[in-house]
Each structure stands twice: as structure tokens, then as C-alpha cells.
Chains A and B, each alone.
Chain A
Amino acid sequence: MNAYLDNSATTKPCERALKKTMQIASGCYGNPSSLHFMGYEAKKELDFARKSVADFIGAKPEEVYFTSGGTASNMTAILGTAAAKKRDGKKIITSRLEHPSVIKNFELLGEQGFLPVFLEPDGNGKVSPDSIYSAVDENTILVSLMAVNNEVGSVQCFDKVKQIIKSKKSNALYHCDAVQGFGKIKINPAKCGIDLMSMSAHKIHGLKGSGALYVSKNARIKPAIVGGGQENGLVSGTEAMPSLCAFGAAVEDIGSVDENCSKVKMLRDMFLEKISDYDYIYVNSPSDALPYILNISVKGVPSQVMLNALSAEGICVSAGSACSKGHRSSVLSAMNIEPARIDSALRISLSKYTEEDEMNMLFDAIIKTANRIRR
């Protein structure tokens, strides 16, 4: 038996998504832009998937733009906002917690004359509302903050950001990278004041190569990829039909967000209970983190060694930090966690399909490896 506990990296596609993929790839291969019946059928399928995603987040279908995934959604949102609002101001705000696809685009804009600000998180891996409040000013055109951090699972104040922006009389757009939160916590962008929201299919049991960007009907951004004018001109390129339609199917298959979450929480809490007996195992995730992501350190066992040992036993987790030397996790560093803990960090990420046996297998293997490796 294997234990797949790296669901924040990617998830196993669900049956419903796989079935849809096959159906579209084999029987509905028309180009949705074509004007014949094959194109029309494809367009109908794509619209159906779009409606599924829109319904799930309480948005209108025309506010959902399909992309090739989280990175493309983030890039489209950030570069698109900068291009559309460059005359309104130069300041763009994000945090050190963000995914590289956000940070790197901010750095890129910095080279082009924009003024990027990188907020530091607190010891719980959260960006405080106060720090956002202090940073926003009239010159600010974009605030990009994630919903859930991918390394420690800390849930950010995504429902407060827009209020803060408004209270500073700024017209800045709020982009929320919700790749890790989408489908796992309830996020209604319209209600939270989110202008732009990134989503990815393969983190919720869909297929790789598909995602979406929610763009509120009140927000206007410019396209980062131009060409044939697909997705209302915002994301050009022939739509990846099989995986986008499978995205719709995967969203329909999510079921109850609350029920999934409490099942995962139970498994996580049982695991936490077990490891609490070991003084060399530390929990890096904050106590109110999303239960799908658990970051721990097994002090004395370097992440890569633990990963190799677990992998040899059929268990997949990921290192809390990038495994290459000299590249300590910036998230854990920003949380002021001591280097010895960062170097032995592990990210365990669950899904609604995770079973108790898998968690037990993980626990046994961690203790076994620690007994062997620790001196």
C-alpha cells in the first residue's frame, strides 16, 4: 500500500474528471471557436464547465476566465492589472508568503518601474491586517495576497483586504491567489471583495494544465497573452478542452466543503495527537491552519533524508523547504523558525480521499526513520 500525502503539490484526478476528459478528448474535439456544429458542441461543453466553476464560487459565468493553471492565472491577474492601471499609480503590494509565480511577477514589474512592496508575515505565517493597512496608499494599484499559504496552511484575512483598501481611499484591485484554498474553504469572491482570484484544477482532483481566473465584473485588466482573442480576449490560445471540461466535472465532484474539511481535520488531529509524545517533532503550522496542510519538523533528520526514507516505503510527502542547499524556505524563515527546524521540515498535505491507514503508515515510518537517523 502507498500513502499519497502530497496533495498540495497535486492530487489524484477523480473518476468524474477522468470520464469527462475521455468523453471530450475522443468525442468532442471541435474547436469552441469554430462555427460548425462540432464547434458549437464544444462551446456548449466549455460553457457548462464555466458555469460549474462560477456557481461554486457564487460568481457569474462571464466572470470566470479559463487559463492553463495557477501560474497563468497569477500572471494574468498581476501583469494585467499593472498594464491597465499604470497611469493610476505605481505601488503594488504583496507578501513574502506568496508563491513564486506571484513574487517573480512582482519582481519583474519592479524592473519595469513599478514599486513592489513585500509584506512580512508574523510568527503564525499570516500577513496582519495592520501591515496591509500601513502599506496601502493612494499610489497603490494592486494588492496580491493569497487565501491559504501552500507551505504551512495558514489562512489569510482574504475577507478583510478589500475593506482595508477602501478605508485608505485607494482604487487598488485585490488579487487573491486561492490555488490552495479553492474547494477546501468557502470563498465567495464577490462577498469578500476579491477583484481577481486564481484557481487551479489539479489541486482539487482535476487535471494539470487547467485553471481559472475570476475577474469581477467591476474590474478591468489587460490581457497578458494576446492572439486569437479566446476567453473574451483576456487569455488567447485555443482552449484545452479535455482538461478544462474535466475542471468543471472536478468542481461538481467536490461535494460539501465543510464535511470534507471536518473529515480531514479529524485525521490531522489524530496525527497531531500521536506526534505530541515526541519532543523532537515540532509543528510549524499555526493551530488555526487549514487542516489539509500540516507542516512539521523532525529535528535531527534533514528533510531530504526523511523524504528518501519515506519514499522508499511508498509514502509521498514534500519537504517544507526547497530541498536544494542554501535555499531555505522563505516562508518558514519569515515565520522566524530556527534553521535546524527549517532544514528538517516536512509538508504533509491531505485530501478528501486521505484515509486513516495512510496517516498511520506515515506516523510509523517517521518514527522508525527518526530512531535510525537521529543520534
Chain B
Amino acid sequence: MQKEIILIKNGELALKGLNRATFEDVLIKNIRKRIKPLGDFEYRKEQSTVSVIPVSEAVDMDEVSERVGRVFGIARYSRALQVQKDMDEIKKNAPAYLENQLMFAKTFKVEAKRSDKKFPLTSPEISAEVGGAILSAFPHLKVDVRNPEIVVTVEIREKFAFIRGNQLKGAGGLPTGTSGKATVLISGGIDSPVAAFMMAKRGLVLNAVHFASPPYTSPQSEDKVHRLLKKVASYSGNITLFTVGFTEIQEAIRDNCPEDMFTLIMRRFMMRIASSIAEKEDSKALITGESLGQVASQTLSAIACTDAAASMPVFRPLIGNDKDEIITVSRKIDTFDISIEPFEDCCTVFTPKHPKTKPTLQMLTEAEQNLDTDALLQRALENTKVTVVGF
């Protein structure tokens, strides 16, 4: 029966030696989860290719393709048409199926592969015949075997023949879940969603912690974080979000600590809270969107002081990036327009006029002396909402 399917070539998975089978299983599980709402599918593993074959009628393959394109662990994939192993069928369907690609191209070539060696035509013969059919449908095209714009591939397999055009680029990275779980500190700005995306790409399952300080921050800024995480979740899968009531801590810092260290003390509290949430959730690292020297609280000395408050590794995937590089990724994952909406987040509440750029740990521990740190932490943790952000 004639239908469209998806063929997935694994990327880095092939390099993983004996772990490959496990990784492939995780990948298939992730794809399955992501496209399940769109219909029933059958999955087949052959050599280094996974085929996703729709079983239900009238599946929206454009949407399936888009979703597969956001699953980590896929370097390249293609959409292919499955037809009967009959030359007339293949010649009739190839130009029609690939019309959108061929119409606007100038050059192409046809590659044929036969795993069924009993098929009456040889590979070069298949290529020549299908090429001829395409040329008569699109007389403007030229054949270029060296550097064609479109490579039309015809595969003759055991049961069916498959026709496909150029491959599509996948999301790359490692399948979500193959690297464990980590917790991202998300503010609502441009950087943290990008950091979350980049670490998820390395196979991490994500949790997120957001600090809300009503009335200094509005319900809209919490909604904004939700929408940002939803974009990230379209790649990483579901994210559990912990929204921590942070007002009391910020007011306590304002009332009891030197102004030039407000931001740093606040960030140390964030690290402590995120660490204890992460520990309970079996998450093994924190993720932040810090970029070296971007603001006063992200100088080397400042980062050293915040780092000391965390009880686990802190991943900072953007540490070496310029703002425009970060923005490029945020546009790619579609978070930029949400990030620049003008709602205050807790980082801009009580900003010192002249923040310390070269703090030491000793200075900070002294500055924190007047605070009942444990009690504040305890109450903040109790004042935490949990929601799941779906993809």
C-alpha cells in the first residue's frame, strides 16, 4: 500500500559501541512519546536506520516530520514514499511525490539501491529510468551527478520500494534521558531557556526552578516562564517546574545586607534552593544561563561565590558565548520573542546601583551573617508550587 513514512539515520549513536542498542531503544521511546497524539505508528530497526510507519489512516505527516525534527539524538532524517515494487509505480510516483523539491531546483540525480537482488532491473537501470521520468515531468531540470541540488533515492527492499528526496536536518545531540537529569534555573530572560535547550540536547531530562517574588513580579512573568519552558519542552519532552516563593528572602536581604551584594546573596540563595530541590528529585546537576562577564554577578569572582553555594555541579553552557550567539539560538528555538516581553523578573528587583564585581567568599559569608539562612530556605521550599510543562 502506498503511504509516506519517516526514515531516521542515527547521528552520534553509531559511535556509542555496545551502548548503541540501549540508546536506540531510548530514541524510539522518545519519538513514540512525541508523536503518539498524532496516530498509531509501527517502528522498525534495520542497520543504522529506524523507520516510522503510520498505521492509522490520514496521519498529518507534516506535523510528524516537524516533531521528529525536534527529537534529540537524530542527526538526519527523511520522509519517504513507500510504493509497490513495480517500475511503473515508481516512475509514476517519484516526480509527483517530490514535486515541491524538484520544481524549484535546477539540478538533480537519482541514486538507486537494491537490497532485493532479484528485482529485474539493476541499480543503474533503475536510476536511468526514474531519471528519465523526472526529466519528462520537469523539463527545466538538468542531471548533475557530481553536485546535484536534489538527490532522489530509490530503494528496493524486500517488500516495498521507497522514494525519497534530500535529507532533513535533525535536532542532533543525544536522546533525552541517556545522560540523566538536571535542574535549570529559569528566569524569563533570553539566556536561561537557551541554556536549558543546550543541556537537554546532551541527553538530559530537565527539571526547572523559577523564583517568583510577588508583588515585585507579576503573575504574567510566571506565565511567561511557562511559555518559555513549553518551547524547550518541544525538544526535551516534559519539564517539571518548581516555582519558589522568593519574596521573603529578597526582602530579608534588602533589610539586612549591604546593598552592593544584594544580587550575589540572592543568587547564592537560588543555588541553595535549587540544589535541595534537585537532590530530592534525583537530579545530578544545576544549569544556569550565565555568560562570563555579561553582568556584574557573572564575573569570575562572582561566579566563584555563587558556585560555592551549590551542592552539585553547575553547568553553564553559555559561559563562552557572546549575546548575539545566544540570541541566534533563542531565535532558532523560538524563545526570543517571549523572552523580550517586558515583565519584571525577580533578578531586577532591588538591583544595587553599584554592585560588587570582585567579591570574595569571606565578604559574602559576613554579609549573610544577619540572615537566618536555614529558616528562610525552609520556608521558601515549603512555599513552592509544582507544575508539569508538557511539550
Interface residues of A (CB under 8 A from B): 304-309, 311-312, 323-325, 369, 373, 375
Name 24 A/B residue pairs within 8 A (Cβ), A-sorted: A304-B218, A304-B344, A305-B215, A305-B216, A306-B215, A307-B218, A308-B214, A308-B215, A308-B216, A308-B217, A308-B218, A308-B219, A309-B214, A309-B215, A311-B218, A311-B219, A312-B214, A312-B215, A323-B342, A324-B342, A325-B342, A369-B215, A373-B215, A375-B254
In the complex, chain B residues whose CB is within 8 Å of the CB of A305: 215-216
Mostly helix, strand, loop or mixed at chain B's interface?
loop
In the complex, chain A residues whose CB is within 8 Å of the CB of B344: 304
**Complexed CA–CA distance, A369 and B219 (Å):** 17
Mostly helix, strand, loop or mixed at chain A's interface?
helix
**Complexed CA–CA distance, A305 and B217 (Å):** 7
**Complexed CA–CA distance, A311 and B254 (Å):** 24
Q: How many chain B residues have a CB neighbour from A under 8 Å?
A: 9
Chain B: CB-nearest residue to A327: B342
In the complex, chain A residues whose CB is within 8 Å of the CB of B214: 308-309, 312
In the complex, chain B residues whose CB is within 8 Å of the CB of A312: 214-215
In the assembled complex, how far is the CB of residue A321 from the closest CB belonging to chain B, in whole angstroms? 12
In the complex, chain B residues whose CB is within 8 Å of the CB of A307: 218
In the complex, chain A residues whose CB is within 8 Å of the CB of B216: 305, 308
In the complex, chain B residues whose CB is within 8 Å of the CB of A304: 218, 344
In the complex, chain A residues whose CB is within 8 Å of the CB of B217: 308
In the assembled complex, how far is the CB of residue B190 from the closest CB belonging to chain A, in whole angstroms? 15
Chain A: CB-nearest residue to B340: A324
Given contacts A312-B214, A325-B342, list 15 more A-B pairs with CB under 8 A. A304-B218, A304-B344, A305-B215, A305-B216, A306-B215, A308-B215, A308-B216, A308-B217, A308-B218, A308-B219, A309-B214, A309-B215, A323-B342, A324-B342, A373-B215
**Complexed CA–CA distance, A375 and B254 (Å):** 9
Chain A: CB-nearest residue to B217: A308
Interface string of B247-265 (1 = CB under 8 A from A): 0000000100000000000
**Among A305, A369, A373, which residue has the most Cβ atoms of chain B within 10 A?**
A305
**Complexed CA–CA distance, A278 and B218 (Å):** 26
Interface residues in B140-185 by Cβ distance below 8 A to A read: none
**Among A305, A308, A312, A323, which residue has the most Cβ atoms of chain B within 10 A?**
A308
In the assembled complex, how far is the CB of residue B33 from the closest CB belonging to chain A, in whole angstroms? 37
Interface residues in B206-236 by Cβ distance below 8 A to A read: 214-219
**Among B214, B215, B218, B254, which residue has the most Cβ atoms of chain A within 10 A?**
B215
In the complex, chain B residues whose CB is within 8 Å of the CB of A309: 214-215
**Among B217, B218, B219, B254, which residue has the most Cβ atoms of chain A within 10 A?**
B218
Chain B: CB-nearest residue to A323: B342
In the complex, chain B residues whose CB is within 8 Å of the CB of A311: 218-219
In the assembled complex, how far is the CB of residue A183 from the closest CB belonging to chain B, in whole angstroms? 31
In the complex, chain A residues whose CB is within 8 Å of the CB of B218: 304, 307-308, 311
In the complex, chain B residues whose CB is within 8 Å of the CB of A308: 214-219
**Complexed CA–CA distance, A325 and B349 (Å):** 13
